A and B are shown apart, each in its own frame.
Chain A
Amino acid sequence: MNVLIAEDETIIRLDLKGLLEKNGFRVCGEARNGAEAVELARTCEPDVALLDLRMPVVDGAEAARRIYAERPIPIVMLTAFSDRANVEKAIAAGVFTYLTKPFRETDLVPAIRLAVARHTELLAARRTIGKTPPPARIEIRLPSHSGHHWPLRVQRTADGSVGVVLDGETA
């Protein structure tokens, strides 16, 4: 599994990399700020991203939003600040889970595993929707001189075909 990490503090970044590699993950990119993270997400094909919230140039929440828009992968936010406002900001950016520094190896690995599992389910459900043509029906009522209202139905059926029916009955 490819992991992209973004953390401006070198020591924490190295520590994070070591922890991940020890647990069988491959670190495919190491970014020092949010802009680099967005760039690396385009090229290093990550399956998951770990982003620090407070980073120069582009912060973690904004980087999360940009990465997710281009490549839907689960994002884990790391931060020293777990106040409500920061958590809400991360959630709004689409972050899957949130770890407070100093984080422990015993929290990091489960957080990644669970984020990947739940995100896979989310993508699968979205794909099902994408594959199902919604049976839609639009009804337009056409008034006539006799005072009747003739419903004109345009409908897309389950097989994806579209039919137009001028119904003979007033409804």
Chain B
Amino acid sequence: MRVLVAEDETLIRLDLTGMLQSAGFEVCAEARDGVEAVELARSELPDLAVLDVKMPRLDGIESARRILDERPIPIVIVSAYTETSLVERAAEAGVFGYLSKPFREEDLLPAIATARARFGQLAAVRDQVETLAEALAARKVIERAKGILMEKDGLTEDAAFGRLRKASQTSGRPLRVIAEAVVATMG
């Protein structure tokens, strides 16, 4: 489990890093501001991020939003500030945990464990949504290509599908790609 830590105060950053390392995490990147956090998330591909809220250049919540836009990972925010507006922004940004400073090891570790578990659950459901959406899109373009072949070449539905399937088998390309080509050239 590789963790990105972003915290502008060196002492707190060292403390956080120490806590994570003694719990068996690998701290793969340490950022001193929000911009660095976004860049390090991009280059180091961490599995999880712990971000401070108040940081120079870019705050932790905005950097969380940018990291999540590029590559969703579980994020826990740590903050000395717990105003409602900050918490609401964190909730909207998609973070999974919000801890107020000073936090203890027994606050941080369960927050990370639950963030990981619930993030994994949400990611799995979202993957399934994506797979279904893709299958649905493929099905739609295949139906359309079939319709075009039936109309332009006077084929029955089975013959039209047979032709698409044969083209897919001979070319070794997915049925969807063949169907898209038919729609693009004949539709």
Docked pose: A114 CA to B99 CA in angstroms = 11
Taking the closest CB of chain A, its distance from the CB of B122, in whole angstroms, is 5
Q: List chain A residues, Cβ under 8 A from B95.
A: 114
Docked pose: A60 CA to B132 CA in angstroms = 36
Taking the closest CB of chain A, its distance from the CB of B67, in whole angstroms, is 16
Tell me whether B100 and A104 are in contact (CB under 8 A). Answer: yes
Residues 68 to 100 of chain B near chain A (Cβ within 8 Å): 82, 84, 87-88, 90-92, 94-100
Q: List chain B residues, Cβ under 8 A from A165.
A: 158, 161
Number of interface residues, chain A, beta carbon within 8 A: 39
- Say yes or no: is A69 at the interface (Cβ < 8 Å to chain B): no
Tell me whether A129 and B132 are in contact (CB under 8 A). Answer: yes
Tell me whether A109 and B110 are in contact (CB under 8 A). Answer: no
Taking the closest CB of chain A, its distance from the CB of B116, in whole angstroms, is 9
**Contact of A129 with B129 at beta-carbon distance under 8 Å, contacts A110-B87, A114-B91, A135-B136 already known:** yes
Taking the closest CB of chain B, its distance from the CB of A89, in whole angstroms, is 11
- Say yes or no: is B57 at the interface (Cβ < 8 Å to chain A): no
**Contact of A158 with B100 at beta-carbon distance under 8 Å, contacts A90-B114, A114-B95 already known:** no
Taking the closest CB of chain A, its distance from the CB of B165, in whole angstroms, is 8
Docked pose: A165 CA to B90 CA in angstroms = 52
- Say yes or no: is B42 at the interface (Cβ < 8 Å to chain A): no
Taking the closest CB of chain A, its distance from the CB of B142, in whole angstroms, is 9
A9-17, A25-33, A34-42, A95-103 - interface stretch? A95-103
Taking the closest CB of chain A, its distance from the CB of B49, in whole angstroms, is 15
Docked pose: A88 CA to B121 CA in angstroms = 15
Q: List chain A residues, Cβ under 8 A from B129.
A: 125, 128-129, 132
Tell me whether A87 and B113 are in contact (CB under 8 A). Answer: yes
Partner of B118, one of A99, A113, A118: A118
Q: List chain B residues, Cβ under 8 A from A110.
A: 82, 87, 90, 98-100
Docked pose: A114 CA to B97 CA in angstroms = 7
Beyond A91-B114, A122-B122, 11 additional contacts (C-beta under 8 Å) are A82-B107, A87-B110, A91-B117, A96-B114, A97-B97, A98-B110, A98-B113, A114-B87, A118-B96, A129-B129, A135-B138
A residues near B, CB below 8 A? Answer: 82, 84, 87-88, 90-91, 95-100, 104, 106-107, 109-111, 113-114, 116-118, 121-122, 125-126, 128-129, 132, 134-135, 157-158, 165, 167-169, 171
**Can you offer 7 A-B residue contacts whose CB atoms are under 8 A?**
A91-B114, A111-B97, A111-B98, A114-B87, A135-B138, A158-B136, A158-B139
